Amino acid sequence: MQVPDVTGSPSSPAASRHRWILHVDLDQFQVSVERIRDPELVGVAVIVGGSGDPEQPRTVVTCASYEAREQGVRAGMPMRAALKRSPDAVFLPTDHATYDAASARVMEAIASLGHPVEVWGWDEAYVGVDADDPVPVAAAIRETVAAVTGLRSAVGISDNKQRAKMATNIAKKRPVDGDPAARVFVLTGENWRAEMGERPTRDLHSVGPKTAAKLAAAGVDTVDDLAATPRQTLIDMFGPHQGTWLHVLARGGGDATITTEPEPARSHSKVQTFPTDLTDVAQMHDRLAELTESLLAEIVGEGRVVFRVAVTVRTTTFFTRTKSRKLPAPTTSLADISPAVHVLLDKFDLDRPVRLLGVRLELTDPDT
């Protein structure tokens, strides 16, 4: 279990404290992005993961629609197991370039409202708010994200990140229509025990199955049970760091800071959807060369170095595949990167019209 710093880092110029922390979580993000570009997927079981081939070994589900979840499919499940549980589902590959682009639009939409934003991956972010009433801000975030991207979201509100994230899980179960505060929930010290006390410890953010099982073996089943367990008992069971964190977490405590300085990007990507499908392979190579050169210029401008390349192709039938390869050595040379990109494109069967091309360049750690 990863244990965050419960005190935050107020001395850091990038970290700040706010009256409220809002956790924004996008609804079945990858599936929702796929449904926007192919509305025929709405209402059917959709499973995203790997190359999209459920028979391929060692691949797992990264996102499942609610229809698939009702059949027992969960993120992290092997794709083969998902196929057994939902044999009629539509299986799609993980399209990093498209999800990167969609996520960037979401985060820009949230930031446009003028509050500090801490981005956590593709589909979630924390927002610092100092208004007396945070609910209208949460509603405005949901409305803005939907208007700009077409994606739905839920917002949890509290005074720290962990409790805000738990509030989001409650908000996801609220009605969508007819309520300006739909899919928004406020969880504070006042309603903490009423909402969370009788829930299993597994419902606490960052408590994994192994930790919950160890607690249950000691007779600690609910959040109230955990809150009543002496701190020293938890330290004896889990060690000083994790034991103290569980003691804090059971009482609704957590990290109360927003850090707006993002972690260094692991990759950059560019995609282009063509107004007219491409059928000429030479044109495909030309467009991909343009994307690669433009993307590399941005990366060089940031002082980053490329170690892996990936190419995404989507045909007019929305069949999407991504192929990648590691470069012989990290580089910023177009002469080294471009040939690898074109070799990847040639590995695709380009016998169908191409609707979209994308290139992703994965980057070394800037501190190495």
CA distance 175 to 154: 11
What are the angstrom distances between the C-alpha of 224 and each of 84, 193, 202, 218, 249?
A: 38, 7, 12, 14, 11
Amino acid at the residue 35: R
CB 152 within 8 A of CB 176: yes
Which residues on adjacent β-strands are paired with residue 259? 15
Q: Annotated catalytic residue: which of 34, 67, 124, 362?
A: 124
Distance of alpha carbon 99 from alpha carbon 270, whole angstroms: 11
Active site residue 261: no
Q: Are strands 90-92 and 124-129 parallel, antiparallel or unpaired?
A: unpaired
Q: Three-state DSSP class for 361?
A: strand
The CA–CA distances, whole Å, from 120 to 25, 50, 107, 127, 171 equal 10, 21, 10, 11, 19
Residue 196: how many CB atoms within 10 A of its CB? 21
Question: Do 18 and 116 form a contact (C-beta atoms < 8 A)?
Answer: yes
Q: Which residues are catalytic?
A: 124
